[in-house]
Structure 1
Amino acid sequence: MVQAILRRPAVETTTGLSRSAIYDRINPKSPYFDPTFPHPIRLGGNSVGWLESEVQDWISGRIEASRQAA
């Protein structure tokens, strides 16, 4: 199975989150830290990406959580 890697602009578009919101979600020191948000994968140097499947799973989890809260 081929897994697609999303770069940050694609993660922004897919999740609707801004750059700073994405990095807040993965920073344990941030008040907006979300341990369920997918961690980036180092691609080399300062380059990172996210597995598309993990991003989609996170979105699905958020949708499910909002349905249960309603």
Structure 2
Amino acid sequence: MWGTAELTQYAAREGHLKVPRQHTETVLIDGQEHHVKAGVFLSNHKSRRAKLSAEQREQLAALGIDWATAT
């Protein structure tokens, strides 16, 4: 899922996942830079959490996002 690599990188660097809504995170995947608005990604997924698949919720929960398992 797009966004999880960026959130993982952000959490490793910052020590938390309180991502500002307008924050853009850049990661290198297969030699290419990818830019994801990590704050928007997180906010959108939180507001749509009831529609996420079990796999998507599990990936977010593995990052330590507590709302990912609640519906």
Bigger radius of gyration: 1
Specify which structure has the bigger relative contact order, considering alpha-carbon pairs within 8 angstroms and separated by 6 or more residues: 1
TM class by shorter chain equals: under 0.3
